[in-house]
Structure formats: structure tokens, C-alpha cells
Amino acid sequence: MTEIPTNTPVIELHNLKKRFGIGDAEHFALDGIDLTINSGEFIAIMGPSGCGKTTLLNILGLLDRSTDGEYKLDGREISTISARRQAYIRSHQIGFIFQSFNLIPRLSVIENVALPLTYKGILQTKRLKIASRILHNFHLGEREYYMPSQLSGGQTQRVAIARALVNEPSIILADEPTGNLDSRSSHVIMEELSDLHKRGNTIIMVTHNPRLTSYASRVITMLDGKINTDTKSADDETIPFTDITPTAVKKRKKVKLVRPWTKRRHKSKATLVSSNRRKK
Amino acid sequence: MRFLFINHLQNARQSLRSNRMRSYLTMLGVTIGVASITIILSLSSGAGKIVGDQIDSLGGNITIIRPGSPQTMSTNLSQIKPQRNFSASSLTEYDLGVIKDIKHVAAAAPIMIISGTIKADNTAPSDSSVVATTPELQTISNLKVQTGQFLDSTIDKNTVVIGPQLAINIFGTDQAIGKSLTVHGKALTVIGVLKRANDPINYNSVDFDNAAIINLEVGKQLGLGQPQIQQIDVRSDSVTNLSGVIVDLNKALLISHGGENNFSVLSGDQIAQPTSQLFFALAGATTAIASISLLVGGIGIMNIMLVNVAERTREIGIRKALGANNGDIAAQFMIESIAIGIGGGVSGYILGYVIAFAISTFLTFQPAINWQIAAIAGFISIVMGTVFGLYPAFRASRKDPIESLREYS
């Protein structure tokens, strides 16, 4: 482990503010956030309810607009980008994972997973093929034509993760992904996310559960719309592909997924990294 | 630039399928509207075609002369000209002589409709008509005699040919040869009964099934003063000479009327015009009424699409989070409502013709099948889907993704 991470920043925030209400009811959900997130980081955002975590995530995911301040994504200032272009970025670069899963109930599992590809202009047959492949990687192959209501919570969230990944996004935003799950399912989901992290994705996760921060490479706590603490975890050096270029990230993601929840959790980091190197 | 049209189609299909019952009921609203318009248009243009078909079946070498200056062609509902049935006719018996002298005129027959009751065993109903004409009418209008013979200049003038329905009405039988009837007090002998033609709407404006045909000379004697010739039917010796005949007719009549252009020489579609104009007016009025049902159907579309949008607010939020832009969302809902419109239009067109043919079994004519009606039905259904889908689609596209995702969660 001689490489020192020299990551390029993907997200830069300067004095970001988000105001709700006007006049007496005025309230800053975000009150001057300064934050730089490098590619390949696994960030856990913690804090009490109402401190602005979700609002921050929504703004990062281009679902919401800040009232004030700068937000640069890949060096581009977001406030100057058209709504259409923002949708394009959401479609190509960002994957969302929600606490309440947010699958469309009237569509089957495979159609749900294929949904983001629709907005990339991929036709149905090919969409379903891609979705089927990714579902197989998540070992949900035999559940393809189930409806979301027929799945357990853990399975539903895995479907949601599969959907978030189907577009091969570089940034994954997870809003309390394990909030509705029991501890065993939570564990599986977190394994999933940390596996994605190891393959070079940037993950930003909002959570209430302090135990989950052990998966993250950097933990940010928020209080009253401001960043309270910002600690890089001891595992920071495990961030892989430090000098990687975006195209290389893409190539890397084509590597077949291994079944993460059967993989021994405590496999030594050295082996992991060296296996990654071999693939290079 | 992404071209997502097919994707939107697939999306729309998915969502229409998932609400089958609702989609079909909404379509039904459009179906009923389009069906009623199809029925009205097909039946009315079928009726309007009757007269034209009659002229075609007579060989296309017929032209008719009517009093009054020529009217311009107009099918515009707001510009229908009144028919001058009440003014004194400008056509005279002298004109008939002039016409017969024109080259290539094979036959000419006047139509002189006389008001007067027909009496025999029973009095004829008031809608029976008395027509004074010359024997040439038979060949021009292709009247077929069932028993006896048509008027003939070589036999006694005080004879009459009657329609089969009139015979039954006044004698109780269609075997009426040799019987006697009176018109305006004048006794006439029946020498022929016409074959049933069953076309009350024709270019002579006479229902021959229910008419008494008498000689022109007798008609003049009935003491009505100046003979009122309502129409002169002219047949040329061949189709190719017809246009020449029409030109000559115009010239000759202009001279005999002292330069006064108070007559019109009509041929082809022009003959059918007064009748078809009436039908167009009727069709226009009923179409206006039927379009109310279209409006109701359209409001049904808008209503259901608004329910759809409200119900799927969360889905809209999810789709936006997954990369759909406003246009994609709008297109999805637009295509759904246009699909409902087209579905309703197609089924309405088919249903309309089924009903129209069912109705036509009680009528003397068939509904017309032409591309105009198909085009109108298609156009209406697409326009309805678009117009009434526009606002719901706009609303859907404007939904804020955050608000939408929060809904029902």
C-alpha cells in the first residue's frame, strides 16, 4: 500500500445554502456547507433528524436546487446547467437508492430495473437483457418477473440497488438505504455498497445508524444545516484505483460482480487490492 | 440527441395495460362520439349520393333546365340559397320548341307540376302529385311501365299514367288499366301503371311511385292560365355531345328570353346540388349536435389523465430521479392520451359503420364509405387525444421531484 490517494474532486460545495419558507417561517435547512468529495470515496453522512442530510443529498443528486452558494459537479457549476441537461446527468452519472426503495409497484422487478435505461434511449429488448444480467449478478434472477410487493425488504432494496447501478453511474447516492431493514438485511446491503465502493464508485450515504459508518471511508456529521465533524476513517487507504481516469472506471465496472454476501468479509485487504491490480 | 419515441410508446403501453378497465372506459367515451359522427356522415353522404347515382345510371347524357339564374356551387352551411319554388317559372312552352330544334338534342321533356287533387274511388293523399309532360319523358328519365303503356301522342289526349302507390291509394289495386280518375274535375282514363322505382328523392323532384302523369296539353287546359314549366329534361344523342348541347342551349335560350339570364342549364353534379346541399345542411346540424358527445368524451380523457397524474405522482418523482426530464414525462402522458384517442377513434369508426349499415336496412339507400369520413374520424380522435391530454401532461411534467417522492411515503 504505497499509493497515496490523489483523487480528483467530483463534488465541490462552497457555502451552499438552502432556505425553506419565507419571512417569519424562514429556515435554512443547509446553512453554508463547504465540502469537497473526491472520486472513489465512501462517505457516510450522519446527524440528527432535520439537520439537512436529505436536503443535501437531494441537491447533490440534482433533484433540488440550492438557494445560494456553489455546487460544482465534475468542475461544472450546476446552477448554470439547464434542467434538461441536469436530467441527462442524473440519467448518466447518478444512481439513487432510497430508504423506501421507491420501486414502481405496477411494474415487475425486471421492468423496474430496466427503467433508467429508458431515458438513455435503449429499446425494450436490450433494456430487459441488461436488467436481467444485473439481476442475475445480484442473485435475483429467479425473481425477475415478481412484483415488488412480493419481495422481502432486503430483496426489494437489492432490486433498488440493481436499478441504481444499471446505468453504470459514477456517483451513488443512498438515503438511509437500510432504514427500513432488519440488521441481517442491512448487513447484506452494506456489503453490497462496500463492494461497489471497492470497484471505484463514489458513494454518498445518509444514515442514522452509527454502526454502518465502519463501512465508510469518511464520516461527516451534520448539525443544524452545517457540517459538524469530518473524519476520514482509518481504512482510508483502502480506496482503490486512486489514479484512475473516468474511462478506466467504466472498464473496471464491466468486471463481473462476485456474490458479495458469500464472500468472506474478512478477506485480507491486501489480496483484494492485489487481485484488482492483476486485472489492470 | 436521444430519440425516445419508441420508449415512450412502450411506457404508455405498460401503463395503459396496468389500468385496463379504466383505459377501455375512457376509450368508450371517444368511441361513442366518433361512432355518432361516422353514422351521420356516412348516412348523409349516402343520401346525397342518390341523385348523383341516378344521373350516372341514366348514361350521363342528361342536362336539365330550371328557371332562375344559375347558382354558384356552395356546400357552405352558412350560404345555402333558398330554392325559388314559389316564383313564376320563366320557362315556357316556346322554349321547349327552341330546345328541340338544337342539334344533337335527342329528346326534351317538360316537367309541369300541377296542384290539384286526384279523385277516383278514393281521394288521393295530398302528397300525390300531378305531372304534365310529353311522352319523351319516359326515355329521358328511364321510367318503366309495369302494365299498359306510357303516354303517346298518337292516342287520345285524355289519358293518364299513374304510379303503383297512387293506384293502390285510389283504386285499392295496381291493376288500374281502363279505370277513370279525375284531376281538377277533368276525367282521364288510366292507360298504364308504372313499375315501382322506390326513389322518392330524384332530380325531377317528383316521386313517380305516387304521381299521375298527364299530357302537357291536358295540363294546360286545366285552367291554370300560363303553363308553369318547372323543369325541362334534355337528353343529348351521346355523352360526348352533351357539353356542346349545353353551350347551344344557353345561347338559344338567351335569345328566346330576350337576353335575360333567368334560367339555368344544369348537368352532372349541379343537378344533384340542391338535394345534396339540403343533406349537407342537415348533416352539418346533426354533426354539431354529435360533437357534444365528442366534447364529453374529451373531458373524460382529461379527467382520467388528471387522475392518472395524481395517482402516479410518486412514479413521476421516481422517473425524474432516474433521469427523465420534463419533456419525457410530458411525452409519456401525451402518448397515453393520444393512444386512448386513437383507440376510441378506430373502434368508434368501426362501430359507427356497423350501426349505419344496420340503420340502412330500414332506408332506401346505403351509407357511403369514403376516405373523407375515415380521415375525419382519425383526425377527430387524434385531436381529442392531443387537446385533452395537453394540460394533464403539462401538469405531470411540472411536478417537483422531491415533493413527488415524498407523496404517500
Using alpha carbons only, give the angle B54, B115, B173 rounded to the nearest 5 degrees.
70
Q: pLDDT category, B158, cuts 50, 70, 90? A: confident
The CA distance from A103 to the nearest CA of chain B, in Å, is 8
Using alpha carbons only, give the angle B364, B370, B375 rounded to the nearest 5 degrees.
135
Within a domain: A103: yes
Rounded distance between C-alpha atoms, residue A174 and residue A97, angstroms = 4
Structurally, how many domains does chain A consist of?
1
Give the pLDDT confidence score for residue B389 in this predicted structure.
94
Q: Which residues of chain A have pLDDT under 50?
A: 1-5, 236-280
Residue B185: CB atoms within 10 Å? 10
CB atoms B402 and A91 under 8 Å: no
Instruction: Answer whether B322 touches A (CB < 8 Å).
Output: yes
From B323, B401, B405, residue closest to A119, measured CB to CB: B323
The CA distance from A34 to the nearest CA of chain B, in Å, is 23
Within a domain: A4: no
Rounded distance between C-alpha atoms, residue A114 and residue A134, angstroms = 10
Q: Are A135 and A141 in contact (CB under 8 A)?
A: yes
CB atoms B324 and A87 under 8 Å: yes
Within a domain: A131: yes
Within a domain: A2: no
Within a domain: A260: yes
The CA distance from A120 to the nearest CA of chain B, in Å, is 7
Phi (first) and psi of residue A217, to 5 degrees = -95, -10
Among B322, B336, B404, most A C-beta atoms within 10 A, so best to mutate, is B322
Which CATH number belongs to the domain containing residue A30 in this structure?
Answer: 3.40.50.300
The CA distance from A234 to the nearest CA of chain B, in Å, is 33
Determine what percent of chain B is predicted with pLDDT higher than 90: 22
Closest CA to A41 of A72, A9, A12: A9
The order of strands in the sheet holding A9-20 is A27-38, A9-20, A68-73, A76-77
Searching chain A, which residue's CA lies closest to the CA of residue B8? A118
Mean pLDDT of chain B: 82
The CA distance from A55 to the nearest CA of chain B, in Å, is 9
Rounded distance between C-alpha atoms, residue B237 and residue A107, angstroms = 75
Average pLDDT over residues B309-332: 90
Among A63, A82, A107, A109, most B C-beta atoms within 10 A, so best to mutate, is A63
Q: pLDDT category, B288, cuts 50, 70, 90? A: confident
Within a domain: A105: yes
Give this prediction's pTM. 0.69
Instruction: Answer whether B323 touches A (CB < 8 Å).
Output: yes
CB atoms B14 and A107 under 8 Å: yes
Spell out the residues 6+ positions from residue A92 whose beta carbon is closer than 8 angstroms to its own. Answer: A120, A167, A169, B323
Local structure of B74: helix, strand or coil: coil
The residue type of B209 is D
Rounded distance between C-alpha atoms, residue A50 and residue A68, angstroms = 19
Spell out the residues 6+ positions from residue B171 whose beta carbon is closer than 8 angstroms to its own. Answer: B120, B121, B122, B179
> Which residues of chain B have a CB within 8 Å of the CB of A63?
320-321, 401-402, 405
Searching chain B, which residue's CA lies closest to the CA of residue A65? B402
> Which residues of chain B have a CB within 8 Å of the CB of A119?
2, 4, 7, 319, 322-325, 328
Provide residues of A within 8 Å CB-CB of chain B: 58, 61, 63-64, 83-84, 86-88, 90-92, 96, 98, 100, 102, 104, 106-107, 111, 115-116, 118-124, 163, 167
CB atoms A63 and B401 under 8 Å: yes
For chain A, give the longest Cα–Cα distance.
60
For chain B, give the longest Cα–Cα distance.
100
Give the pLDDT confidence score for residue B381 in this predicted structure.
93
- pLDDT of B283 > 50? The answer is yes
CB atoms A87 and B7 under 8 Å: no
Full residue range of the structural domain in which residue A31 is found: 9-279
Element (H, E) at B25: helix B20-57
Q: pLDDT category, B303, cuts 50, 70, 90? A: very high
Give the pLDDT confidence score for residue A258 in this predicted structure.
47
Average pLDDT over residues B347-353: 94
Instruction: Answer whether B21 touches A (CB < 8 Å).
Output: no
Closest CA to B242 of B55, B50, B48: B55
CB atoms A124 and B7 under 8 Å: yes
What tens digit of pLDDT does each residue of B368-388 get? 888 989 999 999 999 999 999
- pLDDT of B60 > 90? The answer is no
Phi (first) and psi of residue B320, to 5 degrees = -65, -40
ipTM value for the complex: 0.78
The most confident of the ranges A35-39, B132-136, B154-158 is A35-39
Rounded distance between C-alpha atoms, residue B165 and residue B176, angstroms = 11
